[in-house]
Amino acid sequence: MTTYFLSDLHLDPARPAITELFAAFLDGEARQAQALYVLGDLFESWVGDDDPSEAGALVADRLRALSDAGVPVAFMHGNRDFLVGDAWAQRAGLRILPDPAVILLYDRPVLLTHGDLLCTDDVEYQAIRAQTRDPRWQAQMLAQPLAARLAFAQQARNASQARAAALREAGTMESITDVAPATVAEWFVRYGIDTMIHGHTHRPAIHELQVAERACRRIVLGDWFEQGSVLRASADGRFELSAL
C-alpha cells in the first residue's frame, strides 16, 4: 500500500485544467491509496464554507467519493484556505489536522506541516499569519457578507502579488520566502522526529541533512500551477516525489 501527500494545488476557476487533473487523480490512482494527506493551499482562496467556488463543490464531491470508497483523507490549512471549516470538511468526508501534526506513517513518526511556520525570516508574513489564525479575527471575517469577503480575498491576493514583486526586485525573494534552516533544525529536535513533510515554498525536493548528529529528511512538496506534484510513501520506507 501507498500513502499520498499533496499540497499547494491552488485550485482556482481561472485554471480549470488543474482542477480536472486533481479530479482525475482522485477518481483514479488515489483509489488505491492507504490514505491521502493534503497539506494546505488546496484552494487559491477560500472565504468561508459558503464560498460559491465551483471547484470547491466539485472537489468536495470527489473527496467524499474517495472517502466513501475507504480511503481516509486528511487536510491541513494553508495560508490561502485557512477559513475551510467543519461544514465543508464534513461535506468532503475529511478530517482537519492541526499544524503541525505528528502522524505514524507505517509505525514511524513523521511531522506534517503546511510549511509557512518554518519561514521565520519573513517577519512581516508571520505577523499577518498570526492575525489571520486568531479565532476572533476569523469570526469577525466570517460574519461579513459574502460579497465583502470575496472582495477582501481579492485585495489580499493583489497585495501578496505586489509584495512578491517587490521582494524579487530587491533580490530577496528566494531567501526570505524559504524555510529558515535554524527553525527546521529546532523542529526536528523539538518533535523528536527524523522525517518532515511540508509544502508552501513551491520548491519540491527531498533534503537529507544531519541534525544533532542524527540523519534527518525534509521532504518539500511541489505546487500544482503547471503540473501535479505527488509524494508517494511506501511501507518499506521509500519516498517518491514525482509529477503527474
Residue-by-residue DSSP string for 193-223 = -SEEEE-SS---EEEEEEETTEEEEEEE---
**Per-residue pLDDT at 173 exceeds 90:** no
- If you average pLDDT over residues 90-116, what whole number do you get? 97
Contact 9, 41 (CB under 8 A): yes
Spatial separation of the C-alpha atoms in residues 232 and 157, rounded to whole Å: 31
Percent of the chain beyond pLDDT 70? Answer: 100
Work out the angle between the directed axes of helices 54-68 and 16-27 (0-180°, nearest 10). Answer: 10
Spatial separation of the C-alpha atoms in residues 82 and 123, rounded to whole Å: 19
Taking only the tens place, the pLDDT of each residue in 70-87 is: 999 999 999 999 999 999
Q: What angle do CA 115, 55, 62 make, to 5 degrees?
A: 90
Taking only the tens place, the pLDDT of each residue in 193-240 is: 999 999 999 999 999 999 999 999 999 999 999 889 999 999 999 999
Boundaries of every domain in the chain: 2-243
Which amino acid, one-letter code, is at 145?
P
In CATH, what class is 2-243? alpha beta
Q: What is the pLDDT of residue 95?
A: 97
Alpha-carbon distances, residue 175 vs 88, 122, 172, 207 (angstroms): 35, 9, 6, 17
